[in-house]
Amino acid sequence: MSKVIIPIGADHAGYELKEILKSYLIDKGYEVKDFGCHSTASIDYPDYAHPVASLVEESKGMKGILICGSGNGINMTANKHQGIRAALCWKKEIAELARQHNDANIIVLPARFISIDEGIEMVDTFFSTEFEGGRHQNRVDKIACI
């Protein structure tokens, strides 16, 4: 059986958390596709959000991770993709509800406002929580502007 692939991307403010999460996920047996960035040098977050969002959008069932300082810019960028439901999360419960109620397929983390342990906990929760479907499916079906 092939490994689950998790695409990940970050801006310079999220670089350190990305590197920690990447190692953590590899140690748990995931295959991580790192779209960058690759240092703390200032960059433009859309350059890293779009490739992650594109891969998740074209790969049924795939979930990804994006990280920037506040989470806002990279989240806005990812959500421009019609098939993406990126959720900005700052607590475990938000990550859980994003999956259960919204079928979120990208978790977005605000690196400057969470601890490493909180980031790991949210990622674990996001990837282990299933979409509930049912009454939530109708709502999710109305999200895209197509």
Residues 6+ apart with CB under 8 A from 91: 118, 122
What residue has token string 């960028």? Answer: 77
Active site residue 12: no
- CA dihedral sign of residues 48, 73, 21, 28: negative
- The three-state secondary structure class of 9 is strand
Query: 38, 50, 101, 136: which one is catalytic?
Result: 101
Q: Alpha carbon of 112 to those of 12, 57, 118: distances in Å?
A: 11, 27, 12
Active site residues: 101
